[in-house]
Every structure is written in structure tokens, then in C-alpha cells.
Amino acid sequence: MDERRRSFPSPAHLAASEAWPIVSLAMRSPATVFAAVCLAALLAAAPAAADQDDPRLKRLFESLQTTTSSINAQGLTNAIWLVWLEHDDPQVVERMQSGMRAMQRENYYLALAIYDDLVDRVPDFAEAWNKRATVHYLLGNYQRSLDDIERTLELEPRHFGALEGRGLIYGELGLEEEALQAFERALEVNPHLPGATRRAEEIRGKSQRI
């Protein structure tokens, strides 16, 4: 196994939850509880708009920049994922959850069919594009994944999951400068991403040894 594959996870060795983050609604960790509290407080303060345009996201991202607690940071990150997964159409939400279940079972072709349908049905829903990007990555379809990441970021420029995914793909392709830029951009948006932090440090360390 070469150095590049030690530094960046290969799709052949990744479960879906290890690629882009996949939020499990069944989790009951302190961070998940904190995420629920965050959302409840924000719901009382502002009307929900259910997707990447939800006004609650602004305050969640602002809090990510100032918190010094790792538990609070994870809770805020989970809360952002939960907002990104919301949609006004219950059928869209159900399809999103079906796709996530298929990914967790590693039934990637079923997940791909679901997300193909969703991006056609709701082309302005950023998280549908991001989920399809994740599936393409897991199937080794790097260019298609990059294309879907681009669309995700057009709709939601703060999407740290898509930015981190872009870094993973560039790393797989041996484009370490581009990978570092993607990880650094993800960390500008969310400074509390351990995977992006670790991989950025690995790339910087390698460049310093050369």
C-alpha cells in the first residue's frame, strides 16, 4: 500500500459513515442531546425554512466559530446536519432516510437510484446532491462525485461535509495541494472537524519532509 493510500481512506475500505458524515437519528450521545437542545432553542426564536436556506443555520455556524467545548462543537455540527436533512415535503424526507439506510447497509446502487430520483425531483435541495456525491465516492466515481460536490456548494457554500469530501477525493487522486485547500476551507467553516484536521496536518507534514 503506497503512502497516498495510507494518508487517505480508500472507498474499498470505507463504510458509508466513514466517508462523508451520516447523521444517525437514533444516536443518544451528549452531543446529540445538545444538538436537540440547540434546535429547540432556535425553533423558538426563528421560523424554520427546512433546507440549506433555514435561518437557524446562521446562528449555528456562528456558534461553531466561538465554542471551545468539543461536546458543544459536535452538538452544533450534528444540529447543522439535521437542519440540512430537513425538507418541507415529507416524501422527500422519507426518501432521504431510505437512501441513508441503504448506504448504511452498503447497498450503494439502491442509494444511488434514490438520490438520482431526488436530485431530479428537488434540484435545489443541497443535501440530496451531497448524499449522491457520497455514494459516487464510495463507488469510486470520483468525477461524478466532484460534480455533485460542486452543485452542493453552489447551493450551500458552507457545506463542510462536501468540502471535506472534495479533500478526500483529491487525496485519492494524489492531488495533495488541492486536497489541503479543500480541508482548510472545510475547517474555516467548521474548525471542529477531526478528520479534516488530521489529514491537513498529514499533508503539511509530508510537504515539510520533502
pLDDT score of 139 more than 50:
yes
- In CATH, what number is assigned to the domain containing residue 87? 1.25.40.10
pLDDT reported for residue 108: 97
pLDDT score of 132 more than 80:
yes
> Over the chain, what is the mean pLDDT?
83
Q: Containing domain of residue 8, as a range?
A: 3-209
pLDDT reported for residue 26: 42
Kindly state the cell numbers that stand for 183. Answer: 480541508
Q: What is the pLDDT of residues 150-201, one digit of tens each?
A: 999 999 999 999 999 999 999 999 999 999 999 999 999 999 999 999 999 9
pLDDT score of 32 more than 60:
no
pLDDT reported for residue 186: 98
pLDDT reported for residue 49: 53
Give the number of domains in the chain. 1
pLDDT reported for residue 20: 54
Report pTM: 0.80
Kindly state the cell numbers that stand for 100. Answer: 441513508
Q: Give the pLDDT band (50/70/90) at residue 6.
A: very low
Q: What is the pLDDT of residues 35-46, one digit of tens each?
A: 455 555 554 445
Q: Tell me if residue 20 falls in helix, strand or coil.
A: coil
Between 192 and 27, where is the model more confident?
A: 192
Kindly state the cell numbers that stand for 18. Answer: 466513514
Whose CA is closest to 60, among 156, 128, 130?
156
Between 6 and 43, where is the model more confident?
A: 43
pLDDT score of 21 more than 60:
no
- Whether 135 contacts 152, CB under 8 Å: no
Helix extents (H) in 89-159 = 90-104, 108-121, 126-138, 142-155
pLDDT reported for residue 71: 92
pLDDT reported for residue 54: 86
Instruction: Round to whole Å and give the CA distance between 143 and 47.
Output: 37
Q: Cell 447497498 sits at which residue?
A: 107
Whose CA is closest to 75, among 125, 27, 126, 130?
27
pLDDT reported for residue 5: 32
